[in-house]
Amino acid sequence: MTEKHLIALDLDGTLLKNDKTISPLTKKVIEKAKEAGHIVMIATGRPYRASEAIYKELNLDTPIVNFNGAFIHHPRSQEWGIYHSPLDISTVKDIVEACSEFDYHNIIAEVIDDVYFHYHDDKLLDIFSLGNPKTTTGNLMEFLEASPTCLLIHAEEKDVVRIRKHLSDVHADLIDHRRWGDPYHIIEIVRTGLSKAIGLQKVSDFYHIPQKNIIAFGDEDNDFEMIEYAGVGVAMGNGLQELKSRANHITLTNEQDGIAVFLNDYLDLKAL
């Protein structure tokens, strides 16, 4: 019998197809893996409110990594613990103030399920409305009172590089920052040292699963640490080239059931 594995799934561009659904085949193989005794979890940059429906669709009963490791919890067991590692609010306000020197569209602060918009933006409001969060619009220097789980800066692609250079030059010891993929050019900022890998370590320790038996799937730069930490790091065919260079394996794309094909073969599930 195959040893028990922990299977960590990124969502956008990985588990989810481009239309944000899970293919029936991928769902079938994941269920087969669970029946075989493997542990399936989600590790995403999304907040829980925007991943809860997927968690329930897969009928999971495991911890989840949200906000790229800034919030790790078990939706069905408060006794498991809640690990929330927000940014320092003074650092956030320094960043907001510094952004006045750059061209940008908006700055969004998320405090778990409370969302603060620096400027009103119907398009971004629609994106962040999933899960019906409490939203506030207004100058973050005045309205933001709690330490944010993450900070997001929306800018044009040409300005993202300049803003990220400033963040690295001035705040490298306090924050980590990554960028979202298309179609939105958004810089995501969390407290330094946080990543999905931190969550994988906590969850694998809880289930007594050795690092070599962790299988992680991803496609973007917020998956770098997780893919490197996992004993079996798998990059999606549609993933970044740099991620593929860090991975142990490359599977098919999110549109080609890359997760299902890999798991079926690697775990000998005989589901296809």
Q: How many CB atoms lie within 10 A of CB 240?
A: 18
Q: How many CB atoms lie within 10 A of CB 169?
A: 8
Catalytic status, residue 10: yes
Q: Of residues 10, 176, 219, 257, which has the active-site annotation?
A: 10
Burial degree of 201 (CB within 10 A; 0-12, 13-18, 19+): middle
Strand (E) or helix (H) holding 64: strand 64-66
What token pair was written down for 235? 């990059």
The CA–CA distances, whole Å, from 5 to 67, 118, 184, 257 equal 23, 43, 34, 20
Among candidate residues 80, 44, 58, the one with its CA nearest the CA of residue 206: 80
Q: What share of the chain is helix, strand, coil (3-state, %, to 5)?
A: 40, 20, 40
- Where in the sequence numbering do the catalytic residues fall? 10
